[in-house]
Amino acid sequence: MTKTNLKSLSLPELENFFLSIGEKKYRAKQLYKGIYNNRNTDFSEFTDFSKSLREALVEIAYLPTLKIVKHLQSIDGTHKVSLEVAEDKIIEAVWIPSDLGRKTICISSQVGCTLSCAFCATGTLDFKGNLKTWEILEQILILEKIVGDKCTNVVFMGMGEPMHNYKNVMDAAHILHDPETFNLGAKRITISTAGVIPSIERFIEEKQPYNFAISLNHPDKLLRKEIMGIDSKFPLDDLLATARKFTKTLGRKITFEYIMIPDVNMGEKNASLLVKIARSVNCKINLIPLNTEFNGWRRPTETEMIQFRDLLSPANVPIMNRRSPGKDIHGACGMLALNG
């Protein structure tokens, strides 16, 4: 007899499952709450189920997890796990603590990536498929168990392009936001994209409440495609028009992620163009130092980062400089899939 993977079922599918075994529909919500709020991993832990139901579930269903292939801890408290989804399919997720008390988990949405951004290690991997909703959420459960704490924020910025796995990513975000499960506020959930315009349009149409980030990385419409191949399909001008539609329709800021690469996108002309963009969009800018060494590129010095940030001050928008927690274990931005 083939057992049913209950984590792979949506709430309506779970309701039908419980009805099919002679139970009430509300058992589905109890199961969701048990997995994603109480963090139960075994049917014996579902104390709101009768003993007979728990015993029956053991015979006909199961609660899977992902195999931990490697776990590394940084000197700064960052944790990175490599997880096996299936044979020859490995993903990575990162726990990132901050001095402000924020405990962020950066999760993957795909095995490998459909894109090939020139600065990103994940882009060097073959694409091996989209993650299912439960596989996305399982990364959080595993890291929380390892660390012995619950996260406060989740960012869809790990391996893969979230907007190329739209339904599973959004389903996972909804479960994270559900008061009966993870109960994370919408502003504590951030979804990122390299610029998949049709999916951004869908996000806008559905009026999704979550924070949204665009990996901009170059402000020149002629040069961006040299480091981000997606620009050939979705040009910068069109992407910025969609970003303006986002902020106008949803009434909130969008975040521009900007990988700082010396001699590529940190010159005065680049800063001037970025200021012009920032003035035209209700945004904030998240500056991220390059963490890889592809194409002979190097990480900017502290002085270079400060100088570039100062050049952006005329934009009059919030500017953050995300350091590189977990760099020593290849857990920093752009490093997932590097050995370590």
92 flagged as catalytic: yes
Q: How far apart are CA 256 and CA 104, in angstroms?
A: 19
Angle in degrees, CA 117, 103, 133, rounded to 5? 60
Listed in sequence order, the residues at least 6 apart from 106 whose beta carbon sits closer than 8 Å to its beta carbon are 93, 94, 96, 155, 157, 158
Beta carbons of 234 and 261 less than 8 angstroms apart: no
Q: Which of 113, 117, 151, 333 is catalytic?
A: 333
Catalytic option among 15, 23, 92, 138 = 92
**Residue 106 annotated in active site:** no
Half-sphere exposure of 310 (CA within 13 A, CB side): 6
* Residues involved in catalysis: 92, 333
